[in-house]
Chains A and B, each alone.
Chain A
Amino acid sequence: MGAVADKPLVDVRADFPVLAREFAGRRVAYLDSAATSQRPEQVIAAMDRFQRESYAPIHRGVYELARESTQAFESARTRIAEFVGWEPAGSIFTRNATEAINLVAYSWGRAHVGQGDELLITEMEHHSNIVPWQILCEETGAKLRYLTLTDSAELSLDELDSLLAGGRVKLVAVAHVSNVLGTINPVAEIARRARAAGAVTLVDGAQAVPQMPVDLREIDADFYAWTGHKALGPTIGLLHGRRELLESMRPFLGGGHMISRVERERSTWNELPYKFEAGTSAATEAVGLGAAVEYLDAIGMGRIRAHERELTAYALERLPEVEGIHLYGPSDLDRRGGVVAFAIDGIHPHDIAELCDREAVCVRAGHHCAQPLMRCLGVGATARASFHVYNSRDEVDRLVDALGRAREVFEL
């Protein structure tokens, strides 16, 4: 392990212990980072060190060890908030991005959404940014509406304007980057237009924060959710929110730590962000994510985005060599992240993934938790390759070879 800042990216791979695994004599080609990313030695070591040296209850004990663990937890929060350009008090730790979105649907939604209101999401959302809003609509009588996909697999700001013009939209919830199409949505512009129409915006950044520079001040959405386990860290989520909104909201979960004072009949709430962090926090995971953003920053998010863009370009250039292949998502690389969903005539995606596995190439197959999007694309499932900093062009080559061999097995 040296300073990653100066390493050529090809050497970064050695930081990830899992990537040394071999299956059937071949080094694993991990092309499933959009599902979950691998963790570098630096993250594993930080979590290990915290548990061996500094673990104790955070925000509780008066003894030195507890002070040390609290300090590690809170500096991780500060470091993570800084990484995306937000204030620590408005940065709440959750279990994952799903819980962050549910927190908003529950605490903000139940207070502000009612009969006749509209919630606007998009056809490219992950189930985690669909189902919480469906539940909210069922409970409140609000209506769920969808921004449709354009022919280039993007969103139309004109359509957004016309839906906002109806005057009933209370919330716009949109993915920053699609986990299937890779589409990078103009979330700053969407948030600006929504706010002008009196709607609150939630951005699902689960696929964006891991692979490109994200500055939340620039985006200026009301809520922004993401998760550590796709950003080289462990499973812990973040909800960043505008302070005045978070302060006006009721708590999500009740319990220890989120209170200021508990009487027999009622309680008062702790200050931000603790009001939304009931119970014992996942301190080890927070410390691990702190180390992950440190690692990402040392490489440079601009450099990571450039690397993923190059790999995506290479994949989009080579994959059409496979006969019968269909590729999904925008062709404009400026508006596309490091994910390529595809299908091959005559081979179901599950069988594609199974046959890629014979070559130790890990790709995802299925609906990618985006069933409404699958219906828009007119398929039940797709295969998907997704990239991170540790992937290389030769792994794209191995994918293309594996797909060729899959066609041979299927006698196509």
Chain B
Amino acid sequence: MDALYRDYILEHYKNPRNFGELEPHDLQWHDHNPLCGDELGVHILVEDGRVKDLRFHGQGCAISQAAASISSEELIGMPIGEIRDLGAEWVIDQLGIEISPTRRKCALLSLKVMRGATTGDASWPE
């Protein structure tokens, strides 16, 4: 099996969870990776200070799409206040593969838009 393109990565890429639009929504954010032009947006529904539901939308490579898909399952139910504290390692752990420096931003884009939507912070997660 390929070390990067593992079965579950490809499965999430081909059938991403929680993808699409969410209407109505309480929070939203849209961002892109300036290196490759990939775009990703998110709609979030909030209830009692937690993520009740969310949808990612956009286009990207297998790594960025799988990162969004895999982490979406963890993010639903999470208190909004905790999302700002999620770091790069959190999403890379979720992916469960080794990420080279050239693909790091691919892996981090979904966390970047989640943090943008919940805190307004548009910086890259560290």
Are A and B co-members of a single complex? yes
User: A: which residues have CB within 8 A of B?
Assistant: 346-351, 354-355, 365-367, 371, 374, 380-381, 409-411
Q: Which residue of B lies closest to A406 (CB)?
A: B5
The interface centre, meaning the residue of A347, A351, A367 with most chain B CB atoms within 10 A of its CB, is A351
Interface string of B103-126 (1 = CB under 8 A from A): 100100000000000000000000
Whose C-beta in chain A lies nearest to the C-beta of B35?
A366
A354-B4, A354-B103 given as contacts; is B10 within 8 A of A411 (CB)? yes
- Residues on B with C-beta less than 8 A from A371 are 37
Q: Is B15 positioned at the interface, with any CB of A under 8 Å from its CB?
A: no
Q: How far is the CA of A147 from the CA of B36 in the complex (A)?
A: 25
Instruction: Determine the chain A residues whose CB is within 8 A of the CB of B39 once the complex forms.
Output: 380
Question: Are A374 and B37 closer than 8 Å at their CB atoms?
Answer: yes
Are the C-beta atoms of B37 and A409 separated by less than 8 Å?
A: no
Closest approach, in angstroms, between the C-beta of A349 and any C-beta of chain B?
A: 8
Known: A354-B4, A354-B103, A410-B5. A348 touches B61 (CB 8 A): yes
Determine which of A350, A355, A409 lies in contact with B36 in the assembled complex, contact meaning CB atoms within 8 Å: A350
What is the size category of the interface that chain B forms with chain A? 10 to 19
Asked if A348 and B62 make an inter-chain contact with CB atoms under 8 angstroms apart, the answer reads yes
B59 interface contact, C-beta 8 A = yes
Q: Are A351 and B36 in contact (CB under 8 A)?
A: no
Do the beta carbons of A350 and B5 come within 8 Å of each other?
no
Q: Which residue of B is nearest A357, CB measured?
A: B102
- Measured CA separation A173–B14 after assembly (Å): 42
Chain A at the B interface: mostly helix, strand, loop or mixed? mixed
6 interchain residue pairs of minimum CB distance: A348-B61, A350-B61, A367-B37, A366-B36, A351-B62, A380-B37
Q: Complex Cα distance A306/B63, Å?
A: 40
Query: CB-CB < 8 A to A346: which residues of B?
Result: 14
Pick the contact of B60 from A347, A348, A409, A410 — CB < 8 Å? A348
A contact residues around B61 at 8 Å (CB): 348-351
Residues of A within 8 A of B2 (CB): 409
Interfacial chain B residues near A374, Cβ < 8 Å: 37
B31 contacts partner chain A, Cβ-Cβ < 8 Å: no
State A365–B36 Cα separation when bound (angstroms): 7
B37 near A381 with CB under 8 A, answer: yes
B9, chain A: closest CB distance, angstroms: 10
Which residues 53-68 of B have a CB within 8 angstroms of A? 59-63, 65
Residues from chain B with a CB closer than 8 A to the CB of A367 are 36-37
**Chain A min CB distance to B19 (Å):** 15
Min Cβ gap A143→B in Å is 26
Residues of chain B lying within 8 A (CB to CB) of residue A348: 38, 59-62, 65
Residue with the highest number of chain A CB atoms closer than 10 Å, among B2, B59, B62, B103: B62
A355: chain B residues within 8 A (beta carbon): 5
19 A–B pairs (Cβ distance < 8 Å), ordered by A: A346-B14, A348-B59, A348-B60, A348-B65, A349-B36, A349-B61, A350-B60, A350-B61, A350-B63, A354-B103, A355-B5, A366-B37, A367-B37, A374-B37, A380-B39, A380-B60, A381-B37, A410-B62, A411-B10
Report the bound CA distance from A346 to B61 in whole Å: 10
Q: Point out the residues of chain B lying under 8 angstroms from A354, CB to CB.
A: 4, 103
Q: A348-B61, A351-B61, A380-B59 are in contact. Are A410 and B10 (CB under 8 A)?
A: yes
Contact (Cβ within 8 A) A380 B10? no
Q: Shortest CB–CB separation between residue B37 and chain A, in angstroms?
A: 4
Inter-chain CA distance A410–B62, complex, in Å, is 10
Complex Cα–Cα for A380 and B38 (A): 6
